[in-house]
Structure 1
């Protein structure tokens, strides 16, 4: 398995589940989320780390490869005493399709060490949560086993002492940097951060629309009720698919030449946009 084949590369919705709640793992997989993120880091108290890791190991051994490919595991940071044990537990599963999310990604050498510990087929998501991570984002994105970037915008604000307003225009520079770094490295569009208010559907949709406007392709979710709206907002509507099929049908008839469709010129950039909607080309 290579990084480009991982479902995590193109997931729209990625739903967090605490590793201390194994009874929720199957429900999360059935939630409609493209991938689930089983969290060994922030969602697990220090005294529960070892038990959570053991429970997760047992769960992973019970899954078929097709299901394993929808699972991302957020491990503990490299400077913690649990990091090495997390990687050791995941080595076999990473070879079978589980993606590993590395929090507080800042150093390319650390990502290389993680990749070496997990094996040549392991896929990594580099979670950018600090100014140091943002400063190194282009180099991090080019690490061979990094499949995608993600933005931990809450920890990022904490690191910089920021207090972003509701629509978060203060974070535009960071979001742009992640999207641009992903493009330069040839990675899929990155994953935006969580919406913390699980009761505010309008805020969730607004956040997802902002993510899409910036060029993000996925969004982290913290509750199953967020999944459907994230999938809808970050996906393509049936009207967009119909338009894309018409564009490609007409492009085939015109043999690569520019043409007009519904009063608008269609050239190569428009054709590529239509291909992206349909996942072809």
Structure 2
């Protein structure tokens, strides 16, 4: 099964099955959440909802396994073991491991494609080893759980920007993912009505190299998709630059007053890939 990541990933509580299809239709991939979005007394019912939507008609699950991620509880917990037992009876083989802290934890997920969610101090520090694990396909970082693990009170300053420690964690996860050829997912933006702020942060994620951004509300999907879609002018400029490179036939050349070399051409190629 080839998993389709897409730019906008949307969380959906696993105990709200009536929202599963809507979340899948409105996003590039849905993250069915068995962890923080579900209260402890409701986790059993949430797992039952995942199993119930598989149906008994033989027509397959309501959710496309190639566009569905199941966020499971942290390794070492009883809920983690029960989550795995539940998934063994489903076709879902892409999971997001909450609070991933070491490469050793990933061994229990052999047979799954894993998005490792690094959201504690240990997870951030060990991000390179986690990214190197063969069953890891992507890394994501989380700001609020990280600050909680440090004894902090907020990941953002009064102006809405991230604190230095959060920016360090964001960069650490992105670099670890890139070093091992894995995708990187940017953290959620918790101020749901602030679509302008979300758009600005998503545009920075695109420019920095994050392949996706997670959303916590359907209204956020359009802003994320817009950030990842190059404008008509950007696509035209990228094509013009690459055509000029082919005509120049040299490693370094001047174009519109700028020195152009290999890395700049790769930026243009990335723009065209996003447009496609």
Fold-level match, TM-score > 0.5?
yes
Higher relative contact order (CA 8 A, sep 6+): 1
Asked if the contact 2:238/2:269 (under 8 Å) is kept, the reply is: yes
* 1:50 CA drift (Å): 1.6
Asked if the contact 2:253/2:260 (under 8 Å) is kept, the reply is: yes
Tell me how far apart the structure 2 counterparts of residues 272 and 65 of structure 1 sit (CA, whole Å). 39
Residue matched to 2:3: 6
Select between 226-235 and 260-269 the one with higher mean Cα deviation: 260-269
User: Does residue 1:236 correspond to 2:230, yes or no?
Assistant: yes
* 1:217 CA drift (Å): 2.7
TM-score w.r.t. structure 2 length? 0.88
Residues 8-30 of structure 1: CA distance to partner in whole angstroms, max 9, x if unpaired? 2xx32110000111111111111
Tell me how far apart the structure 2 counterparts of residues 97 and 236 of structure 1 sit (CA, whole Å). 32
Tell me how far apart the structure 1 counterparts of residues 163 and 224 of structure 2 sit (CA, whole Å). 20
User: Does residue 1:168 correspond to 2:162, yes or no?
Assistant: yes
SS at match of 2:78: coil
Q: Residues 57-206 of structure 1: matches in 2 within 5 Å? A: 57-60=51-54, 63=60, 67-91=64-88, 93=90, 98-115=93-110, 119=111, 122-162=112-152, 163-164=154-155, 165=157, 166-170=160-164, 171-188=166-183, 190-206=184-200
SS at match of 1:246: helix
* 1:92 CA drift (Å): 5.9
Number of residue equivalences: 266
* 1:262 CA drift (Å): 2.7
Asked if the contact 1:60/1:68 (under 8 Å) is kept, the reply is: no
Q: 1:65 to 1:23 in 2, by over 3 A?
A: closer
TM-score w.r.t. structure 1 length? 0.86
Gapped runs of 5+ residues in structure 2? none
Asked if the contact 1:191/1:217 (under 8 Å) is kept, the reply is: yes
Tell me how far apart the structure 2 counterparts of residues 64 and 247 of structure 1 sit (CA, whole Å). 46
Residue matched to 1:268: 262
Gapped runs of 5+ residues in structure 1? none
Tell me how far apart the structure 2 counterparts of residues 141 and 82 of structure 1 sit (CA, whole Å). 24
